[in-house]
């Protein structure tokens, strides 16, 4: 029995090459091939789009909320459904709901919700990102300082256990708070350790990478900066070839020139990838919401606490893609890879996510010629349409 489907009528980007007058063939949720339109099998169900382009679905590894829900405020299966659905309208087909620093009880609830979401096959859910609470107070950002603390044995065991039952787990920690031995244990259990909210020096950050940390959380933000005598976490992340780094490309969190310098400096198998760091406002007209009892206000393209501290980003993935193309002058092919292939690679999921080559999950975005989302598809099923 076959459920072969062909999708044509738009240019197709498979993550490396473009195809004109072609069709994406999908069977049982996976890409089988890209063929000339004239070669579409006669028994295939045909979907014909109205121009524009098909690109690999976006993969967002840092999503605090969406659709009016902040994951910290409601760490439940229902919240994960809502967050994933909210981001689908902006081209995101795979994401990690992200829990900002909170209590052990809330962390446990988030992990339980993630296990439920994996079992329920929630469209778009691919795991969790636990950002804190084992961070540096000096680089706390919007994280509640009263909840930041060192990692004890119970924390470590909880995270190791979670890494073994979740599809993917990123743990953001500070290199000076979580020692190399704990990082190694997390990595051996299957977690991806990311260095962030850290004031560590270059040597300390490199020791964390030696121990198995493989990522930096929102490069430049909430970390020690690149200096003339102390390269800091920024310098270590850029210097280490295998380390991947998320980037909030909204022109508010990081200066455009700094983004360009970082992209030119980063070499090796690790890449800089796009994240939204979005909060509950995504997909809504919310102007204010709460985090740990503090009000976050949405204004002028930013989210801030009352003291002006940035509190996540008022950003979605298609806007991040368009920002690096329009403001940085990045080649669109590379911008699409920053939103799809590179984040998938950062979590070791690039065999099935981030591209549209044979055997990949058939998750893609139909964009207009002006790069606006027309429809979003996960595993061959349309989950959102304009």
What is the per-residue pLDDT for 14?
98
pTM over cut 0.75: yes
Is residue 199 among the annotated active site residues?
no
At residue 355's C-alpha, the angle toward residues 96 and 276, to 5°, is 35
CA-wise closest residue to 79 among 279, 246, 248, 274 = 279
Query: Roughly how many angstroms between the first and final C-alpha of the chain, as a whole number?
Result: 32
Q: Which of 165, 206, 214, 208 is nearest to 347 (CA)?
A: 214
Q: How far apart are CA 320 and CA 310, in angstroms?
A: 17
Q: What is the pLDDT of residue 261?
A: 98
Domains in the chain: boundaries: 5-55+356-385, 58-346
- The residue among 335, 339, 337, 314 whose CA lies nearest residue 325 is 335
pLDDT for res 279: 94
- Choose the catalytic residue: 14, 144, 199, 277: 277
- Domain range 5-55+356-385, CATH class: mainly beta
Contacts of 327 (CB under 8 A, 6+ apart): 251, 256
Q: What is the mean pLDDT of each run of 10 residues along the chain (386 residues)?
A: 89 98 98 97 96 98 97 97 98 98 97 98 98 97 95 97 98 98 98 98 98 98 97 98 98 97 97 97 90 90 92 95 98 98 98 97 98 98 95
Assess if CATH 3.20.20.140 describes domain 58-346: yes
Strands of 22-27's sheet in order across: 30-36, 22-27, 5-8, 45-48
CA atoms within 13 A on the CB side of 193: 30
């Amino acid at each position: 029995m076959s459920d072969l489907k062909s999708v044509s009528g738009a240019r197709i980007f498979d993550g490396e090459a473009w195809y004109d007058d072609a069709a994406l063939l999908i069977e049982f949720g996976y890409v089988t091939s890209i063929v000339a339109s004239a070669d579409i099998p006669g028994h295939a169900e045909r979907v014909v789009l109205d121009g524009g382009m098909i690109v690999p679905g976006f993969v967002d590894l840092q999503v605090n909320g969406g659709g009016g829900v902040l994951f910290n405020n409601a760490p439940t299966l229902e919240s994960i459904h809502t967050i994933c659905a909210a981001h689908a309208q902006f081209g995101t087909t795979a994401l990690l709901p992200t829990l900002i620093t909170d209590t052990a009880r809330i962390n446990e609830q988030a992990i339980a919700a993630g296990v439920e979401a994996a079992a329920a096959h929630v469209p778009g859910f691919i795991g969790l990102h636990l950002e804190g609470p084992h961070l540096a107070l000096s680089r706390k950002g919007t994280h509640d300082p009263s909840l930041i603390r060192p990692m004890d044995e119970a924390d470590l065991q909880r995270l190791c256990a979670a890494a073994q039952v979740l599809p993917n787990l990123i743990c953001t920690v500070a290199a000076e708070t979580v020692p190399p031995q704990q990082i190694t244990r997390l990595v051996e259990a299957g977690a991806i350790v990311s260095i962030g909210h850290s004031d560590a020096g270059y040597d300390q950050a490199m020791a964390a990478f030696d121990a198995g940390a493989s990522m930096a959380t929102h490069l430049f933000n909430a970390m020690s900066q690149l200096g003339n005598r102390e390269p800091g976490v920024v310098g270590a992340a850029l210097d280490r070839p295998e380390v991947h780094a998320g980037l909030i490309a909204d022109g508010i969190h990081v200066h455009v020139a700094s983004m360009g310098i970082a992209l030119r400096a980063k070499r090796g198998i690790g890449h800089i990838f796009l994240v939204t760091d979005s909060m509950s406002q995504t997909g809504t007209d919310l102007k204010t919401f709460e985090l740990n009892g503090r009000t976050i206000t949405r204004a002028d393209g930013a989210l801030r606490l009352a003291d002006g501290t940035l509190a996540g980003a008022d950003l979605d993935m298609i806007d991040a893609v368009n920002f690096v193309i329009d403001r940085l002058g990045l080649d669109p092919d590379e911008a699409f890879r920053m939103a799809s292939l590179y984040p998938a690679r950062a979590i070791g999921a690039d065999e099935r996510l981030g591209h549209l080559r044979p055997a990949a999950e058939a998750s893609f975005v139909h964009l207009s010629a002006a790069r606006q989302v027309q429809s979003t598809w996960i595993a061959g099923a349309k989950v959102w349409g304009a």
